[in-house]
Amino acid sequence: MAEVTTNTQPKRGKRNRKRQSTKVDMTAMVDVAFLLLTFFVLTSQLADVYVLEQQMPPRSEDGPSRIEVAEQKIMTLYLEGDNQVSWYIGNEHEAWEAADLGNPTVRNQLLAHQRAGLHAGVQPCQGKETSGCWDPIFVIKPTDDSQYRNLVDMLDELIIVSAQKYVIAPMTPEDEAWLASR
């Protein structure tokens, strides 16, 4: 609470005036401030959660459904150690290329594959029908030497180039033999 005190002692050579001093108790205001602070901290949202949406293909009773895809639509990306990525299109292992993951060449190659069929006059796919149209598929295969951050960076690159279809696939013995032989 507030309190007023009076000083009645006269000073030398001056008239006797009553001086009043006030003293305000700040306890109640500090309590209200901490209550408001606690309320706003507990009711505010500190950061948005970013979630990468993934859609899985439908499963049949016999397991995952199999869909035939033209080889020129598939771009296989190998995430290797030291932030390296190697890729080839279709089944052409001999025409592979490699670069650092942060290199603009990687994004340019992803964009080129994304637009390859469109430059050839093939229309983009509409709906579920995928025959006779261009819908590129990116297959990401992380090796044991790659880091999780490399996978996240590659997914970010695919989102930047607006890739609609991508797969994270495990390494097969054939993949490991190819990587070792090149």
Q: What CA–CA distance (Å, rounded) separates 123 from 49? A: 36
Q: What is the pTM of this model?
A: 0.65
Given a cut of 80, is residue 105 above it in pLDDT? yes
Confidence at 127, pLDDT banded by 50, 70, 90: low
Write the pLDDT tens digit of every residue in 23-60: 888 889 999 999 999 999 888 877 777 776 766 666 67
Q: What is the DSSP string of 3-69?
A: EEEEE-PPPTTS----EEEEEE--HHHHHHHHHHHHHHHHHS--SPPP-----PPPEETTEE-----
Query: Is a pLDDT exceeding 70 seen at residue 65?
Result: no
Which is more confidently placed, 130 or 179?
A: 179
- Structural domains of the chain, ranges and CATH numbers in brackets: 2-43 (no CATH), 69-181 (3.30.420)
Give the pLDDT band of residue 158 (cuts 50, 70, 90): very high
> Torsion angle, CA of 27/30/35/41, rounded to 10 degrees?
-160
pLDDT of residue 140: 95
